[in-house]
């Protein structure tokens, strides 16, 4: 039987008086011995030097009743002579005798065991004895479960805790149920009963509304806890602590195993289906891709491969919401549901679809819209975490965040619309704008007390800390746009139409307006407009720079010198890459810094990286010729590898959590998103390679054009001079 009765403040104090005779000296306990009612207590009695066994007699007696506790005589133990009260409750260690150790272990301690004890040792060399007193101070019997408990996730379970029925319920002042955390050496409050009232508000948030006492049973001293909707996290030790005015006691109930609920089984089933489907289709798909025959049957197979496993994984992540945190669940589901779009774009067969009109249309849409759409799905999922908080804006600082939300919405919609018209540059600028605005919201989220600090404290104001990032990001994005302009219209000599001027002017004007609103809002919040002088200056610079660019591009005579074209183009491309990386690094740096103390910080960082890589990907035109084998490998990694990885990660995490009761990887995004990033990055690398090849051809052509132009100039010059 598993005795879990532990009695607090119940101490059996054993006082010892050593009494030496004729050179023999027997030792007792050094200090008070603490024991538990119903537990065991060792009553020590030993001599320093070993003794011969012959003639040895060890006698343990209780002093008050003179009843025999234990007797060792003529080389053997004599349980037959033992007093009835101690029958079967005393262990005498025969192996220890030779070492001169005559201690006994008194088990299943009773209240009547209190009192004095005597350990008498008689040998041929003499006689010695040691006395000890066991004093009973306080006790309260609290009974818990007889065995460890098993529960099923999602079901209810009763954790027994009943107080000694001899104690009237009216005398019980307080009963607390606590959940122990051995690793952290701490406990959390589960439920409190005090002064005949149940305090549910006192419960930790994870137990709020999930725990009850049986009110009708309380008068009987039954303080059993009903734990409803059991979760994996509940696994572990629960302690029921009972206090009366002068006594207290406790019992421990061990919730040893939590069984899988129907929900968990569904997660496992969905993951297995995804695994089986993607593994099963992997080889045939690979084979067909290599053979390169786009017939109807193959197309069906490809569609099955990219749709079904991802939908299963997405559903599995959705069900994971019972265990995971909201932002993790929603992002992981969004990644899975958006992945087929990305897979269609990276599909090697995209260019070989049968030449039917509607398919051609699909092909075109996929080519231009896949990345912005995938990005939008992730972005909407990311923002959905914040939406409810944004709607309740009241202070000026919260209005700034609402402003960011507007920027986010406009830039997302803008990115998709611009991508429809194949204005990739502008689309990328929109996505980067989104990243900047998202960062602003992250920063806000990272400190809940932010707006209070902002409006109350002027010195050391946290709003001022973030002025650098607010002031640095927009110019970087505007310069990115202007550079892209030069690259395209100045060096590549693409026509510069009113449409381009209009779209880009819209950007410049909105950024100027944004800066002005920063100026007003931050100035208003910190009540010091001089500190934020940078914002209006910035907006003036944007407008001037933009006017200069328009003049330069519109004036045909100022067309760039033909020989410099290739070099200028290359410079622009390098600086654009550098700028994108710089913006990414800034976002990463600030979100890392801001999120450092939050538990989902790593997940956000992983997300920021993926979003930046996607933004960079949207800059590139859909490539025409790619190395076939690499292309197929990347596609297979995306369609099979990622699904297999995601479902395995989910299954492993589920089993680990069932085993340990706590999450192993606190946030699945930390694993899911980096793999997704690897997939998009390899695709980006392919795009860059393909763009580089096109660029080389173009530079060569430009140089040839340049030579022709220069030759013409030389030919023309003498004519003029003459
Ligand atoms: C005597 O034996 C008991 C039981 O093995 C042991 O717990 C105790 O420590 C021993 N005492 C000494 C002094 O060796
Ligand atoms: C010790 O034991 C011997 C015989 O074994 C006995 O004669 C003697 O009386 C005993 N002494 C005490 C004090 O019990
Ligand atoms: C505790 O207090 C109650 C009444 O107040 C009394 O009857 C009981 O004997 C006390 N118990 C102890 C161990 O002092
Ligand atoms: C809880 O108490 C009830 C009633 O005494 C008993 O039937 C049940 O087995 C106990 N449960 C456990 C787990 O000990
Ligand atoms: C306490 O009461 C509940 C509800 O009636 C019952 O399920 C449980 O077994 C009781 N526990 C004990 C130890 O009697």
613-648 pLDDT per residue, tens:
998 888 888 888 788 889 999 999 999 999 999 999
Q: Is the pLDDT of residue 31 over 70?
A: no
Look at 14 and 157; give whichever has higher pLDDT.
157
- Among 84, 113, 138, the domain-final residue is 138
pLDDT tens per residue, range 55-113: 888 999 998 888 999 999 888 888 888 998 898 889 998 888 888 889 999 887 777 78
Q: How many CB atoms lie within 10 A of CB 145?
A: 20
Q: Can you tell me which atom of ligand 5 is nearest the CA of 224? A: 1
Q: What is the pLDDT of residue 461?
A: 54
- The answer to whether residues 78 and 201 belong to one domain is no
Residue 714: inside a domain, yes or no?
Answer: no
- The answer to whether residues 131 and 160 belong to one domain is no
Residue 143, H or E segment: strand 142-143
pLDDT tens per residue, range 116-154: 889 998 887 788 888 887 765 456 778 888 888 899 988
**Judging by beta carbons within 10 Å of its beta carbon (0-12, 13-18, 19+), is residue 16 exposed, middle or buried?**
buried
- The answer to whether residues 210 and 319 belong to one domain is no
Radius of gyration from C-alpha coordinates of the chain: 39
Mean pLDDT of the chain: 81
**Judging by beta carbons within 10 Å of its beta carbon (0-12, 13-18, 19+), is residue 104 exposed, middle or buried?**
buried
Residue 713: inside a domain, yes or no?
Answer: no
pLDDT tens per residue, range 336-376: 999 999 999 888 888 777 667 777 788 888 888 889 899 99
- Residues 710, 693: Cα–Cα separation, whole Å: 26
Residues flanking ligand 3, CB < 6 Å: 138, 245-247
pLDDT tens per residue, range 559-610: 556 667 777 777 888 888 888 888 888 888 877 776 665 667 788 888 888 9
Q: How many CB atoms lie within 10 A of CB 347?
A: 21
Q: What is the pLDDT of residue 567?
A: 78
Residue 711: inside a domain, yes or no?
Answer: no
Residue 710: inside a domain, yes or no?
Answer: no
Report the residue among 146, 147, 238 best suited for mutation to probe ligand 4: largest number of ligand atoms under 8 A from its CB: 146
Q: What is the pLDDT of residue 268?
A: 94
Q: Is the pLDDT of residue 273 over 90?
A: yes
- The answer to whether residues 428 and 523 belong to one domain is yes
Total domains in the chain come to 3
Q: Is the pLDDT of residue 157 over 90?
A: yes
Residues with Cβ within 8 Å of residue 576, at least 6 apart in sequence? 480, 483, 484, 487, 619
**Judging by beta carbons within 10 Å of its beta carbon (0-12, 13-18, 19+), is residue 221 exposed, middle or buried?**
buried
How far does residue 62's CA lie from ligand 2's centre (Å)?
20
| Residues 164/272, Cβ–Cβ less than 8 Å | no
Residues with Cβ within 8 Å of residue 495, at least 6 apart in sequence? 489
Ligand minimally distant from the alpha carbon of residue 244: 3
Residue 594, H or E segment: helix 564-595
Q: Is the pLDDT of residue 1 over 60?
A: no
- The answer to whether residues 332 and 438 belong to one domain is yes
The number of angstroms, rounded, from the C-alpha of 149 to the middle of its chain's C-alpha atoms is: 29
SS3 of residue 71 by DSSP: strand
- The answer to whether residues 193 and 77 belong to one domain is no
- The answer to whether residues 321 and 410 belong to one domain is yes
Q: Is the pLDDT of residue 9 over 80?
A: no
| Residues 695/569, Cβ–Cβ less than 8 Å | yes
**Residue of 553, 535, 555, 534 lying closest to 545 (CA atoms):** 553
Q: What is the pLDDT of residue 466?
A: 66
Q: What is the pLDDT of residue 19?
A: 41
Report the residue among 4, 5, 145, 162 best suited for mutation to probe ligand 4: largest number of ligand atoms under 8 A from its CB: 145
- The answer to whether residues 150 and 281 belong to one domain is no
How far does residue 126's CA lie from ligand 2's centre (Å)?
8
Q: What is the pLDDT of residue 680?
A: 94
Report the residue among 7, 247, 248, 249 best suited for mutation to probe ligand 3: largest number of ligand atoms under 8 A from its CB: 247
Q: Is 52 a pocket residue for ligand 2 (Cβ < 6 Å)?
A: no
pLDDT tens per residue, range 440-477: 777 766 655 444 444 444 445 555 666 677 777 888 88
Q: Is the pLDDT of residue 17 over 50?
A: no
- The answer to whether residues 218 and 99 belong to one domain is no
Q: What is the DSSP letter of 467?
A: H
- The answer to whether residues 186 and 94 belong to one domain is no
Ligand minimally distant from the alpha carbon of residue 93: 1
Percentage above 70 pLDDT, the chain: 84
| Residues 49/126, Cβ–Cβ less than 8 Å | no
Residues with Cβ within 8 Å of residue 152, at least 6 apart in sequence? 230, 258, 259, 260, 261
How far does residue 164's CA lie from ligand 3's centre (Å)?
14
Ligand minimally distant from the alpha carbon of residue 43: 1
Band the pLDDT of 711: cuts 50, 70, 90: low
| Residues 471/536, Cβ–Cβ less than 8 Å | no
Any long-range contacts for 28-36 (C-beta under 8 Å, 24+ apart)? 28/119, 28/130, 28/131, 28/132, 29/132, 35/10, 35/11, 35/109, 36/5, 36/6, 36/7, 36/10, 36/109
Residues 176-193: b if buried by 16+ CB within 10 A, e if exposed: bbbbbeeeeeebeebbbb
Q: What is the pLDDT of residue 193?
A: 92
pLDDT tens per residue, range 42-53: 899 988 877 777
SS3 of residue 213 by DSSP: strand
Helices then strands (H, E): number in the chain?
Answer: 16, 23
Nearest CA residue ID for atom 3, ligand 1: 103
**Residue of 77, 106, 100 lying closest to 27 (CA atoms):** 100
- The answer to whether residues 278 and 377 belong to one domain is yes
Q: What is the CATH number of the domain that holds 97?
A: 2.60.40.10
Q: Is the pLDDT of residue 382 over 70?
A: yes
Residue 717: inside a domain, yes or no?
Answer: no
Q: Mean pLDDT over residues 174-184, rounded? A: 85
- Which two structure tokens, joined as six digits, stand for 626? 């790619």
Nearest CA residue ID for atom 10, ligand 2: 122
**Judging by beta carbons within 10 Å of its beta carbon (0-12, 13-18, 19+), is residue 108 exposed, middle or buried?**
middle
- Among 227, 259, 291, the domain-final residue is 259
How far does residue 253's CA lie from ligand 4's centre (Å)?
11
Residue 721: inside a domain, yes or no?
Answer: no
Residues 246-265: b if buried by 16+ CB within 10 A, e if exposed: ebbbbbbbbbeebebbeebe
- The answer to whether residues 217 and 281 belong to one domain is no
Where is average pLDDT lowest: 280-294, 401-415, 694-708?
694-708
- Residues 424, 101: Cα–Cα separation, whole Å: 88
Band the pLDDT of 720: cuts 50, 70, 90: very low
Residue 31: inside a domain, yes or no?
Answer: yes
- Among 210, 230, 259, the domain-final residue is 259
Q: What are the Cα distances from residue 641, in Å, to 58, 303, 342, 669, 679?
A: 74, 16, 14, 16, 10
Phi and psi, residue 224, nearest 5°? -60, 145
Look at 433 and 37; give whichever has higher pLDDT.
433
Q: Can you tell me which atom of ligand 3 is nearest the CA of 246? A: 1
- Residues 295, 680: Cα–Cα separation, whole Å: 28
Q: Is the pLDDT of residue 4 over 50?
A: no
Residues with Cβ within 8 Å of residue 255, at least 6 apart in sequence? 148, 149, 151, 157, 159, 230, 234, 235, 236, 237, 238
Q: Which domain holds residue 348?
A: 262-704
pLDDT tens per residue, range 534-550: 888 888 998 898 888 88
Q: What is the pLDDT of residue 246?
A: 67
Ligand minimally distant from the alpha carbon of residue 44: 1
Residue 719: inside a domain, yes or no?
Answer: no
């Amino acid at each position: 039987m598993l005795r879990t009765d532990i009695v607090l403040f119940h101490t059996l104090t054993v006082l010892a008086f050593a009494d030496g005779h004729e050179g023999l000296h027997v030792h007792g306990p050094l200090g008070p011995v603490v024991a538990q009612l119903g537990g065991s207590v060792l009553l020590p009695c030993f001599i320093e030097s070993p003794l011969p066994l012959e003639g040895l007699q060890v006698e343990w007696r209780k002093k008050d009743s003179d009843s025999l506790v234990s007797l060792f005589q003529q080389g053997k133990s004599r349980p037959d002579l033992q007093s009835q009260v101690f029958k079967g409750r005393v262990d005498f260690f025969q192996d220890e005798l030779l070492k001169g150790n005559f201690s006994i272990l008194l088990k299943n301690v009773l209240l009547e065991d209190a009192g004095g004890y005597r350990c008498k040792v008689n040998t041929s060399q003499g006689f010695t004895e040691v006395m000890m007193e066991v004093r009973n101070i306080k006790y309260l019997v609290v009974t818990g479960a007889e065995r460890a408990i098993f529960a099923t996730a999602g079901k209810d379970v009763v954790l027994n805790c009943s107080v000694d029925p001899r104690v009237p319920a009216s005398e019980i002042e307080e009963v607390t149920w606590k959940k122990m955390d051995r690793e952290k050496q701490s406990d959390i409050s589960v439920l409190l009963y005090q002064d005949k009232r149940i305090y549910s508000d006192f419960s930790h948030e994870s137990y709020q509304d999930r725990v009850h006492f049986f009110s009708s049973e309380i008068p009987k001293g039954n303080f059993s806890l009903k734990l409803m909707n059991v979760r994996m996290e509940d696994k572990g030790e629960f302690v029921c602590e009972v206090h009366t005015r002068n006594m207290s006691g406790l019992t421990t109930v061990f919730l040893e195993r939590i069984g899988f609920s129907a929900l968990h089984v569904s997660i496992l089933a969905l993951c297995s289906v995804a695994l089986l489907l993607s593994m099963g289709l992997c080889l045939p798909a690979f084979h067909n891709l290599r053979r390169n025959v786009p017939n109807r049957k193959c197309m069906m197979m490809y569609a099955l491969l990219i749709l079904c496993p991802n939908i299963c994984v997405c559903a599995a992540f959705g069900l994971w919401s019972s265990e995971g945190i909201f932002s993790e669940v929603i992002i992981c589901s969004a990644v899975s549901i958006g992945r087929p779009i990305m897979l269609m774009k990276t599909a090697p067969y995209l260019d070989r679809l049968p030449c039917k009109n509607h398919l051609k249309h699909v092909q075109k849409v996929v080519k231009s819209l896949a990345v912005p759409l995938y990005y939008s799905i992730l972005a909407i999922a990311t923002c959905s975490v914040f939406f409810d908080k944004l709607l309740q804006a009241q202070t000026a600082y919260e209005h700034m965040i609402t402003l960011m939300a507007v920027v986010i919405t406009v830039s997302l919609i803008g990115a998709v619309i611009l991508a429809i018209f194949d204005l990739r540059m502008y689309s990328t600028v929109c996505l980067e704008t989104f990243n900047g605005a998202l960062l602003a919201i992250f920063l806000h989220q990272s400190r809940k007390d932010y707006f209070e600090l902002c409006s109350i404290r002027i010195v050391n104001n946290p709003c001022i800390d973030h002025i650098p990032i607010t002031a640095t990001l927009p110019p970087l994005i505007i310069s990115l746009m202007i550079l892209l302009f030069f690259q395209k219209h100045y060096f590549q000599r693409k026509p510069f139409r009113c449409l381009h001027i209009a779209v880009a002017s819209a950007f410049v004007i909105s950024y100027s307006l944004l800066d002005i609103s920063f100026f007003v809002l931050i100035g208003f919040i910190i009540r010091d407009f001089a500190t934020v002088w940078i914002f209006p200056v910035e907006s003036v610079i944007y407008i001037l720079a933009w006017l200069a660019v328009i003049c330069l591009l519109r004036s045909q005579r100022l067309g760039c010198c033909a020989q410099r074209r290739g070099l200028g183009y290359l410079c622009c491309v390098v600086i654009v890459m550098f700028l994108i990386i710089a913006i990414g690094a800034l976002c990463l740096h600030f979100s890392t810094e801001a999120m450092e103390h939050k538990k989902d910080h790593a997940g956000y960082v992983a997300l920021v990286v993926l979003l930046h890589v996607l933004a960079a990907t949207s800059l590139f035109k859909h490539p025409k010729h790619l190395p076939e084998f690499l292309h197929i490998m990347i596609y297979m990694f995306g369609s099979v590898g990622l699904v297999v990885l995601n479902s395995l990660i989910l299954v492993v995490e589920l089993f680990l959590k069932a085993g340990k009761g706590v999450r192993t990887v606190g946030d699945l995004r930390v694993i899911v998103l980096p793999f997704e990033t690897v997939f998009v990055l390899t695709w980006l690398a392919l795009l860059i390679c393909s763009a580089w090849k096109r660029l080389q051809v173009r530079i060569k052509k430009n140089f040839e054009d340049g030579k022709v132009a220069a030759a013409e100039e030389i030919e023309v010059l003498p004519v003029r001079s003459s």
